[in-house]
Structure 1
Amino acid sequence: MNATKLRAGCAIVIAVLALDAMAQSKPIAYPAKGQSPQKQQSDDGACYSWAKSNTGIDPATASAAPPPQGGPAVGGGERVGGAARGAAGGAVIGAIAGDAGKGAAIGATAGTMAGGARARQNKRAQESNAQAQSQNAMSTYYRAWAACMQGRGYTIQ
């Protein structure tokens, strides 16, 4: 079951990276009205500024945004919480078996490991959300840039 979840998580990460590469690539502008390379460069710069000011998105900073940080180490509070829950459960089971202290120690170890897994899963979800937000921002910016370039006589692909 864990191997299936791991494979599914890896597939999602690969799909997100592939979509990111497609979403981050700038559309191609063809000079449909015979614009010179200098005119195209000038129009591109003007449309960059226009799209940036109208969307509030700068592609230079949107694609380089750092991933969100979860805390000083992976597992912010999930490991501690898992250890506490595991120790409590282990103490109860250990008391039934005759050694509450040993049961609590085993439970705390298992709880710490479960908390670490939960922390890694939460971190992956945060990174995926940040990636999706970056993709949406770039898509919005490039739609505005394309509208500007089309208005100046370019065919956009």
Structure 2
Amino acid sequence: MNAPALLRLPRQRLALASALLATWLSGCVVAPAHRPVYAAEGRRPSPPVAEAPMYFYPERGQPDGQQDRDRYECYRWAAQQTSTDPGMTPVRQVRGPSPMPPVRDGADVVAGAVTGAALGAVVSSPRHAGENAVIGAIFGTVLGAIAQESRAQAIEQAQARQQQAAAATRVPSDNFRRAMSACMQGRGYRVS
């Protein structure tokens, strides 16, 4: 080999190593889009749970007209007390897509190890390629594990926030149901 060819060889290795490193690091920054697990397993997401209807049974032999009036007055009173009118809210609320379950299958760890080994071998001299490939694989494994765990924790946190939001949206409805039940029980009805 002549001298200019020898000078170009390390630059080519450096450029290749830089390109591989940039590609690998860009994979650590943006989470890849995973398919939802239920599609792979043949399961479908569960539909939103509708509230059970409330039934009122007269215990004092109230006539139909009295039952209708009691139901109307208790409904208006419960809506006023709780500032919630279930008759004015949508029957079915549209929910966003549920986050997928966290994946801890080791794919990111393996990808990190392979990428680290490749980078370690490419960046080093031919004499130390094997040693540096092992070192690169170790660092890649650690970085892959960190990326996988942080992604799984982010998914778990998103699920917890979604559950808290769902619980918060049920509170006004639950308050209305309690107020309506109390009013109807006070007027001589059994509530179920």
TM-score w.r.t. the length of structure 1 is: 0.51
Query: d(CA) in 1 for partners of 2:164 and 2:84?
Result: 18
- Which residue number in structure 2 is paired with residue 115 of structure 1? 150
SS at match of 1:147: helix
Shift of 1:32: 1.8
8 Å Cα contact 1:62/1:137 also seen in 2: no
8 Å Cα contact 1:33/1:153 also seen in 2: yes
Q: Specify which of 28, 36, 41 is matched with residue 63 of structure 2.
A: 36
Q: Deviations over 1:102-122 (max 9, x none)?
A: 777655544433222112211
Matched, 1:53 2:80: yes
Query: d(CA) in 2 for partners of 1:41 and 1:112?
Result: 61
Change (3 A) 1:112 1:38: farther
Q: Deviations over 1:28-61 (max 9, x none)?
A: 2111222233432332232222111101223353
1:8-157 aligned within 5 A: 24-60=51-87, 61=89, 98=132, 108-157=143-192
8 Å Cα contact 1:62/1:134 also seen in 2: no
- Which residue number in structure 1 is paired with residue 106 of structure 2? none
Shift of 1:140: 1.8
Gaps of 5+ in 2: 1-46, 101-111, 121-130
Runs of 4+ aligned structure 1 residues displaced above 4 Å come to: 62-70, 99-109
SS at match of 2:163: helix
Query: d(CA) in 2 for partners of 1:148 and 1:127?
Result: 33
Shift of 1:124: 1.7
SS at match of 1:122: helix
Using CA pairs below 8 Å that are at least 6 residues apart, which structure has the higher relative contact order? 1
Computing the radius of gyration from Cα coordinates, the structure with the larger value is: 2
Give 1:125's aligned amino acid: A
8 Å Cα contact 1:68/1:130 also seen in 2: no
Q: Number of matched residues?
A: 119
Alpha-carbon RMSD: 4.1
Change (3 A) 1:119 1:62: farther
TM-score w.r.t. the length of structure 2 is: 0.44
Query: d(CA) in 2 for partners of 1:44 and 1:28?
Result: 10
Query: d(CA) in 1 for partners of 2:97 and 2:85?
Result: 22
